[in-house]
Structure 1
Amino acid sequence: MTRRSEQVDLLVTHIKTVGLEPKHRDAHYSHIGALLTDAGLQGNTNYSTNVVPKALKVQREWPDAATISGFQARLAQNNFGEWIPFRGKKPVIIEAMADALGEMGVETVGDLLHCYTDAERELDLIFQLDPVKGVGPKTINYLAILAGSPDHVAIDGQLTTFAQEAGVSTRSERFLGTFYRSAAKQLGCTAASLDAAVWTYMSTRKRTAARQP
């Protein structure tokens, strides 16, 4: 048994011990404005109350923002941070991501997903988004999940803590992502569904602990 396989086995054992049952998920967006809003606002905030309603507002009230060009036109006509509303730098990050994707010819969610199904195209996407301050590997992988890729894992604090509790090395975000993908293969589920199951489990546990006196 290799050191890598030992790490994967530790993760799989922990997943089974806590009773996680990753399920097929088809929760990706078809509206790129809503997708970018979700990706840009998530992180260090309550997802269900501060992110989802705002992404759905973009989808509902700006149907023409289902394309990058339509989203950019809306952004040009509105102060996005005030309209959404959301304070801080995150609305600016969303606008910068839209501009970066527009520059490389991404127009729809389907176009974005295509970037993740071709290795060279994915490298082009990473290079395009790299200058956007506030966008790192986690956000780039999360964009893939939101676009419908079953093979990506967005390593964040929740997934890192879960792995640490399993006794898995978390020194390298890149290797941690491969551990999760290999664990998903052993469990017979997609990497994205395992990501969702672990994230939901850790978030629920955190909220439950916060409510306890």
Structure 2
Amino acid sequence: MILFSRSWSDLLAAVAGLSDEDFARPSGCTGWLVRDLVCHLVVDAQDVLITLATPTAEEPTRDAVTYWQVVEPPTGEDPLDALIVRLAAAYEQPALLKFHLDDVGSAAGRAAALADPTGRVGTQGQVLTAADYLSAYVLEWTLHHLDLVAHLPQTAPPTAESLGRSRELLEGIAGAAFPVSFTDREALLIGTGRRAPTATEAAALGALAARLPFPVG
């Protein structure tokens, strides 16, 4: 739960430091500009708030790893993706989008800090402990932080701690470890299909290469 707060705070700080021009640059998400990605983070923050405000007494059905499911690779044509693009454009001024993310994002961070780790919450028809739910979101924040900085080399990347934990989660989802020669960043980008492996990397992956990517949602 502490790493949730750290990784989220780092991502919010990275967005806060963007220039207006940065919002019109491409992100690491297929079909999305940086402004679209930031708008998606607003929706993510709302989801965190809703979930933490949805307690349940039912037994957990998922944990931090099984919360995630491997989905079809993004194409930019999904109706929800298209909605995000329209919502982002409606802000018109990057400052408004920054303000909304800071407002909702800060509230999500406070709610996470106040959550009972052993409490159970419901989301998407599943039940998790608050600790598992927030731990799962470390992967979300870290991947989107990588998406944010994909074409913004001057922006601070995710921390080594966030990258390492996210790699552990992705390897749990994949049911296999990535080569030790891969950095955590490389494992995440290649593992989720954000970039294709080189010939050398594919050779190191061995049989795992045929199972790539593992886009999660």
TM-score if structure 2 supplies the norm length? 0.29
TM-score if structure 1 supplies the norm length? 0.30
- State the structure with bigger RCO (CA 8 A, min sep 6), 1 or 2: 2
